[in-house]
Amino acid sequence: MGLFNKWKKKVEVEPYRISAPVAGKVIDIKDTNDQVFNSEALGKGVGIIASEKQITAPIGGQIVSFFPTKHAVGIKTDKGVELLIHVGIDTVELNGKHFISMKKQGDTVVRGDILLKVDFDAIREAGYDPTVLMVVTNTAQYAQIKCNLGNKSNNDIIIEIEE
């Protein structure tokens, strides 16, 4: 048995890399103003204080949920990673106002596809926190989820998932 072990190679698995869905300041999910998200009850992730008005697909996959109120999108990759992008806190109450959807539930997307156009100024003026929340909803399936914080451009890698 020992004779063959020297030829076995340890296979390094590349982490899944999740891009920023919008440019802005990426903060720890625990520092956001939503108790459900900051408790990590829905999974590990980040908050983003957006500096642009478009939300793009942070990874390729299928849109498995697109709320009628347009404030939240769920994407599942072919490898099983499940992401939830939630635009703003309590913005479900806006009933889609200030959001324009560019995709729909069931669509297949690639990284960088525009999902939503959002008027963050109008959301803020309406009295809502416009922080974009993005979490890996099936966090428990992975060994580690690392979040890269700070100022990021759209499509910079902000989450790395290791099996």
Query: Domain limits of the chain?
Result: 15-162
* Active-site entry in 70, 86, 98, 152: 86
pLDDT along the chain (163 residues), means of 10: 53 81 98 97 98 97 97 97 98 98 98 98 98 98 96 95 93
**Would you state the pLDDT for residue 14?**
74
**Half-sphere exposure at residue 51, Cβ-oriented, CA atoms within 13 angstroms:** 10
Whether the full predicted model's pTM is greater than 0.85, yes or no, is yes
First to last CA, the chain: 27
Architecture of domain 15-162: Distorted Sandwich (2.70)
Can 86 be counted among the known catalytic residues? yes
